[in-house]
Every structure is written in C-alpha cells, then in structure tokens.
Amino acid sequence: MEVRNLFIGFKTYLGKLNVLNGVDFALRKSEKVGIIGESGCGKTTTMKAILGILASNAVIDGGEISFQGHEMLKIGKKQLNQIRRKNLTMIFQDPTAALNPVFKVGEILGDVIKYSGNFDHEKATKKLLREKSIDALKEVSLPDPERVLDSYPFQLSGGMRQRVCIAMSLATAKDLLIADEPTTSLDVTIQDQVLRLMKDLVNRKNLSIILISHALGTIRNTVDTVYVMYAGNMIESSETGKLFSNPLHPYTQGLLKSVPKLTGEGFSEGIPGRIPDYVNPPPGCRFNPRCKYAMEICRKERPRLLEVDADNHKVACWLYNKR
C-alpha cells in the first residue's frame, strides 16, 4: 500500500479543519508497520480514508492511496466493498462498541464468515459456519469456544471481546490488517497476551499489519517498522529498534523522554505547547512553534519525509534534510 501526499480536511462551524497535510506512507506485503501518534494527529483519519469510511463532512484535498494496484480514493463503491470484504480488515479500539450487543457472538461471527466472499454462501449451512467459527475462536486461544459462541458480548470480559474481534478479522483470510489501538482498553496483563497472540497470528498467516497506538511500548514489541505522526504529517520513520535507540526528529525525542521509565528518573517537562489549531495551522513545519531547534526555513516550508542514512531511516525535518 502506498499513501502519497494525502490532504484531508473537515468542514465544521469553526471553519475548515486541515487535518492531513500531505501524508506519505508505504507498506510492503507481509510487513508489520506501526504508527505512533498522539490524539488528534490524524492517524485514525488516515485509516478511515484507506477504508473509505470518512465522516460526511470530510473533504479530500489531494493525494492518492493505492492498495494492491487499486486507487482507493477513486474506485466505485462496489469495488471498494469487495476489497473491504476480501483484502482489508480492521480491528477497532473499543471491542464493546464493535460488537452489536443484541446478537450472540456466534451470530456475529457466523455472518462475517458467511459473507466474507471466501466461499459460496449458498452452501453455507449452519453446521459449517459453526465449525468455522469454533476454529476461528480456537486460533485466538479463547477457552471454551462453544460457550463463547452462545454468549452475548456483554457476558464476556474486555479481553475476550477483543479476542473475538481479532478472530472476526482473521477468520476470513485477508492481506492487510489495520489495528487501531487494539489493546488500549485492556488490562496490562491481558494486553500482553493479546499482543503476543496478534504477533503470532500475523506471522503465521503472512499478513501485513498496520498497528496504531499512542503507547510506545506496545509498538516497540510488536512491529518492525515505525512511523511517527504529528499534526497530519508523518515526521519520522525507521526500523523499530533504531527509532527507539536513536530518535532524530525533535518531536520523537521529546515523546520518548516523556514516557516514565522503570529506572525511576522522574518526569520530563513534556513537550511545550499544544497541538496546532487545524483551522489556522502554522505554515511550514507544523511542529515549529513547539520546537527548540526551529529555524527560519521551518516557518516557511514544510520538510518532506526523506531518507537520512542508508538504513531506511526517514525524517521530515530541516535539521537533516539537505538544503
């Protein structure tokens, strides 16, 4: 998948929110990519654009999204639906909201499998669907799958619900899994289990995954490549280990310093300022008002995401881009 120079805005009573400011992002087959960003940076908007589920007041001001050769922003609804059925899947942040509370898990899961387009759904008998559903639940290590299928979502714990959502996404073989903060609402010990599970399944099925989170530790343990997003731009990307050991962009550095450490060093000052007003965003690099290294050019021109050294470590920052 490739996202090229994507600009998306939203019309509101305050004016037009120019959220995405030229997002550049790429993902190869079977690659595991993480997107780190704080709330309001536009990561969910980018994902919604890929899936074609943006709100009605969204305006696409430019850019392209291509996925397996398809131009996602230009194709018709029918084709989009087909891709959504067969190739793309998403896991949302809140498993409770993602499962319809009036249906039993078995019914929800059965429907997903039945209409996944993977087999002729005329032939889908109840028995066949139930078998496949049980298989799917076993894959996510849910104990007692039969009982889970006959339960309503509210009868399950948060961790179990999220595992059901993961089972739903993985049951119908896809190419790309987008997970938006999949473990944020879970307890730490359950989070650990669920992430291990996802990593294992992704590896086994050779899926590509985009994992979105604001929890840096989660990203570090799960993906190979990381993108850091700020105020509608990808400002840094690199192989995971390198990003955490050698962050280049001032925002990334500030972010990593802000995380409390087990070594007990106390708290950093955080990053001064707040995220920009999207109605009147700062010209040039959107981080410049908060950046202690800001130069004249930072206030005039937006830096692009360019490679800094041979190791595929990219930064969008005038401190590094050759000028």
Partner 1 sequence: MDKNEDLLVVENLTKHFKTSFGVVRAIDEINFTVKAGETFGLVGESGSGKSTTGYVVMGIYTPTSGRILFKGNDISMHAKKRPKYLKKNLAIVFQDPASSLNPTKTVKDVVGQPLKIQGLAKSHEEYDKRVSELLDAVELPPEDFKERRPKDLGGGERQAVAIARAIATNPSFIVLDEPTSALDVSIQAKIMKVLMRLQRELNLSYLFITHDLSLMRNVSSRVAIMYLAQIVEFAPTATFFRNPVHPYTQMLLSSIPVLTDKEEKLKPKEIISRGEVPSAINPPPGCRFHTRCSFATETCRSKQPTFVTVEPEHQVACHLITK
Q: Which residues of this protein are in contact with partner 1, per CB under 8 A?
A: 38-40, 157-160, 187-193, 214-218, 220-221, 244, 254-271, 274-275
Residues 6 or more apart whose Cβ sits within 8 Å of residue 197:
140, 141, 163, 166
CB of 196 to partner 1, least distance (A): 8
CB of 241 to partner 1, least distance (A): 10
> Which lies closer to partner 1 via its Cβ, residue 112 or residue 228?
228
CB 90 within 8 A of CB 169: yes
**Tokens standing for residue 159:** 């961790």
Please state, in angstroms and rounded to a whole number, the distance separating the CA atoms of residues 198 and 180: 13
| DSSP assignments along 40-86, one per residue | TSSHHHHHHHHHT---TTEEEEEEEEEETTEETTTS-HHHHHHHHHH
> Which lies closer to partner 1 via its Cβ, residue 110 or residue 182?
182
Please state, in angstroms and rounded to a whole number, the distance separating the CA atoms of residues 81 and 53: 11
CB of 51 to partner 1, least distance (A): 24
> Which lies closer to partner 1 via its Cβ, residue 62 or residue 270?
270
Which among 111, 106, 172 has a CA at the least distance from the CA of 134?
106
> Which lies closer to partner 1 via its Cβ, residue 117 or residue 158?
158
> Which lies closer to partner 1 via its Cβ, residue 172 or residue 225?
225
CB of 257 to partner 1, least distance (A): 8
CB of 317 to partner 1, least distance (A): 17
